[in-house]
């Protein structure tokens, strides 16, 4: 119902007073029909204000690698002829960071924010890791080229690394490849 003051004034203002059940109440406690409509309109305005205030507080926190979330995923690789390393950081709000360079010099300090994904993408990676029982995998291979996935939670940090995509668990390789598929590594800031 739309609160239109003109409607209230034209059609209701001259109506009879609505008396409460106890007619011996003082005059100031008697309600007129316009007052009831105004009260209803004010309640709707307050409800809308409270909802807007609540939604304003529901913003996604923006993270940096100096202010990490309690849960995140790090996926990367290192080694090869040139000794390069790449690290990708995935955060629950969809933010992603990449760090590229030579081994030993790549880290959170030189990472750059790249195009964000959706929070749903982060949840899908977590779901895939949980489905394969990632925390139970005991794989720590080093090789000429080493690939890894790390899951950091509030309670623990679990990392798995392998050196050969052909001999590593297929589910692990699928998560690695699907997470890194179609990532634009151009910095956004």
What is the CATH topology of the domain spanning 72-180? Mago nashi protein (3.30.1560)
For 3, the token pair is 């609160």
Query: Which residues contact residue 113 at a Cβ distance below 8 angstroms, ignoring those fewer than 6 apart?
Result: 64, 95, 96, 97, 187, 188, 189
Q: Which residues pair with 31 in a beta bridge?
A: 18
- Give 52 or 30, the one with higher predicted confidence: 52
Over residues 48-55, the mean pLDDT reads 67
Q: What is the pLDDT of residues 147-188, one digit of tens each?
A: 999 999 989 999 999 999 999 999 999 999 999 988 888 888
Q: What is the pLDDT of residues 59-98, one digit of tens each?
A: 567 887 778 889 999 999 998 888 888 999 999 999 999 9
- How far apart CA 70 and CA 148 sit, in angstroms, is 20
Q: What is the DSSP letter of 154?
A: S
Strand ranges for 81-126 from DSSP E: 84-90, 96-102, 112-114
- State the DSSP string of 59-93: PPPPPBTTB--SSEEEEEEEETTTTEEEEEEE-TT
Q: Which residues pair with 112 in a beta bridge?
A: 98
What are the structural domain ranges in the chain?
A: 5-56, 72-180
């Amino acid at each position: 119902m739309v609160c239109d003051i003109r409607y209230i004034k034209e059609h209701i203002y001259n109506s009879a007073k609505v008396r409460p059940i106890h007619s011996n109440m003082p005059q100031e406690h008697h309600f007129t029909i316009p007052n009831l409509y105004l009260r209803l309109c004010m309640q709707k305005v307050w409800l809308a204000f409270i909802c807007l205030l609540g939604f304003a507080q529901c913003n996604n926190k923006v993270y940096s690698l100096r202010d990490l979330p309690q849960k995140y995923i790090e996926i990367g690789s290192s080694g090869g002829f040139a000794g390069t390393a790449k690290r990708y950081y995935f955060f629950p709000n969809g933010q992603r960071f990449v760090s590229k360079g030579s081994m030993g010099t790549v880290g959170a300090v030189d990472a750059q924010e790249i195009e964000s994904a959706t929070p749903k993408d982060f949840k899908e990676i977590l779901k895939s890791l949980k489905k394969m029982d990632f925390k139970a995998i005991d794989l720590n291979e080093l090789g000429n080229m080493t690939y890894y996935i790390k899951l950091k939670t509030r309670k623990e940090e679990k990392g798995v690394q392998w050196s050969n995509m052909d001999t590593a668990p297929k589910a692990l390789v699928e998560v690695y490849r699907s997470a890194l598929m179609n990532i634009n590594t151009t910095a956004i800031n």
